[in-house]
Amino acid sequence: MPVPSLVGPDDVEQWIATLRSGECLSERSLRRLCQSASELLMEESNVQPVLSPVTIVGDLHGQFYDLLQLLSPEVGGEPPESSYIFLGDFVDRGHNSVETLSLLLCLKLKFPGHVTLLRGNHESRQITQVYGFYDECNRKYGNASVWRHCVQCFDTFGIGAIIDGRVLCVHGGLSPDVRTIDQIRAIDRQQEIPHEGAFCDLVWSDPEERLTNAPWQISPRGAGFLFGARVTDEFAEVNRLDLIARAHQLVMEGRQYHFGNKNLVTVWSAPNYCYRCGNVAAILTIGDDGKETKENEIIEVEGGEDEKGDGRPIIRQSFKFFHETEHSVHGPKGEERAQLVPYFL
């Protein structure tokens, strides 16, 4: 699929080089980037079909230099050698949301078949005005025009991805208004995330291990629901899924399976979140049947960005690289120590 007509391949290459050098794009370039990416993303399905092998990436939250490390050959590798599904929450809280979003949009334009971008609850006008992205755009560009271009682009991001018809990826979780994947495909996604309903729930909901007396419970976040093992099992069975992969919650060890039956996993990809949480990050690769696995390989990278200054890495952290063969889950030794830290917005 060619780069949309608003920009050319040379533009995208130049923008990537600019971002990798530590500079922001010009306001005009970022506007063109958002418009071109929107043109491309609008053509994709609400639930984009993806073939394995592919690597799933959780929340990034503006930690641009950690994203660069994630894309390094020592960790995930760059497209087109590696394909990615990014589960949303690219912006807010970190120092470099503008650069993080810009690079992901550039990679989408350059490698459209190898990069899938999903919408998180932070890809919204309301949330970004509270948690940092709006202020960052004003600080770096002197006005809110860049923010407006970006949030308009958010409206075109997909809600989900389906890997080989068997692994569903969403940002948050499930919804009492959604029983089948076809119902997700029918949602009008080109809008601001609503305060309730299926679209809202898919980016806001969370699993709850202790939820046994009722299938659903109102979320303490103020949007979405808590859901338990029964809801997860029923949804997976109805839709013939082996796994549901989501992000949205900080996991201290980078990845956590829920409910003991390993059909729901949380992936978190921002190390030392908010510059103080001390967590490691993970990415999760869904591989082909019969391929060699890289189970439990832990790779040291520069991560955990500086709380002061521009967010460049100053301390050592870990990315954990988990690799699965299709329909087969391999958990890390010591995984029982993983902690899910609930209800960060």
Question: DSSP string of 170-233?
Answer: ESS---TT-SSHHHHHTS--SSPPPSSSHHHHHHH-EE-TT--S-SEEE-TTSSSEEE-HHHHH
- CA 123-9-136 angle, to 5 degrees, is 30
pTM summary value: 0.88
* Model pLDDT, residue 321: 64
CA 320 to chain centre: 16
Cα end-to-end distance, the chain, whole Å: 35
Domain spans of the chain, in order of start: 9-341
Residue 55 · residue 285 · CB < 8 Å: yes
53 preceded by cis ω (within 30°)? yes
pLDDT on residue 318? 53
Using CA atoms, how far apart are residues 284 and 123, in angstroms rounded to an integer?
22
**Residue 3: what pLDDT?**
60
289 CB-contact burial (10 Å; exposed 0-12 / middle 13-18 / buried 19+): exposed
Q: What is the predicted pLDDT for the residue at 198?
A: 98
> Does residue 202 contact residue 170 with C-beta atoms inside 8 Å?
yes
Nearest residue to 67 (alpha-carbon basis) of 333, 311, 323: 311
List the catalytic residues. Answer: 122
Question: Residue 290: what pLDDT?
Answer: 25
Q: Is the peptide bond before 2 cis (omega within 30 degrees of 0)?
A: no
Per-residue pLDDT of the chain (345 residues; tens, 9 = 90+): 556 557 899 999 999 999 999 999 999 999 999 999 999 999 999 999 999 999 999 999 999 999 999 999 999 999 999 999 999 999 999 999 999 999 999 999 999 999 999 999 999 999 999 999 999 999 999 999 999 999 999 999 999 999 999 999 999 999 999 999 999 999 999 999 999 999 999 999 999 988 877 789 898 898 989 999 999 999 999 999 999 999 999 999 999 999 987 899 999 999 999 888 999 999 999 997 523 233 333 333 334 555 555 656 543 445 666 665 443 433 333 333 334 444 344
For residue 280, what pLDDT is reported? 92
Neighbours of 76 (CB within 10 A): 23
The CATH code of domain 9-341 reads 3.60.21.10
